[in-house]
C-alpha cells in the first residue's frame, strides 16, 4: 500500500475534493470513502489492471499495463 499512496491521494482529491495531506479525517471516514473510490479514479484503474483475470484481456495488455500488473 505504501507504493500506492500517491494514487490514493490523487484519487481522494479527484473524487472527493479531499487533500489527505492537509485535511484531518477520522480513520472511519477514510475507510468509508476508500471503499467507494471509483473505478475511473487513478487508483481504480490500477486496481482493475492488477485484478484482471480474463486471459484474452491479459494478452492484450500494453507493456505499461503488464508492468503495473507485475508490481
What's the pLDDT tens digit per position in 47-66? 999 999 999 999 999 999 99
pLDDT value of position 3: 87
- Output the average pLDDT for the chain: 93
Could you tell me the residue range of the domain that residue 15 belongs to? Answer: 2-70
pTM for the full predicted model: 0.77
Contacts of 62 (CB under 8 A, 6+ apart): none
For residues 15 and 30, give the distance between their C-alpha atoms in angstroms, rounded to a whole number. Answer: 13
pLDDT value of position 47: 94
Number of compact structural domains in the chain: 1
Q: Is residue 1 predicted with pLDDT exceeding 70?
A: no
pLDDT value of position 71: 86
For residues 54 and 9, give the distance between their C-alpha atoms in angstroms, rounded to a whole number. Answer: 29
Q: Is residue 44 predicted with pLDDT exceeding 70?
A: yes
Amino acid at each position: 500500500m505504501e507504493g500506492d499512496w500517491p494514487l490514493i491521494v490523487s484519487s481522494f482529491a479527484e473524487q472527493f475534493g479531499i487533500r489527505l495531506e492537509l485535511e484531518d479525517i477520522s480513520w472511519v471516514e477514510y475507510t468509508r470513502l476508500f471503499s467507494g473510490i471509483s473505478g475511473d479514479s487513478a487508483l481504480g484503474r490500477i486496481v482493475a489492471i492488477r485484478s484482471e483475470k480474463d486471459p484474452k484481456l491479459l494478452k492484450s495488455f500494453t507493456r505499461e499495463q503488464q508492468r503495473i500488473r507485475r508490481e
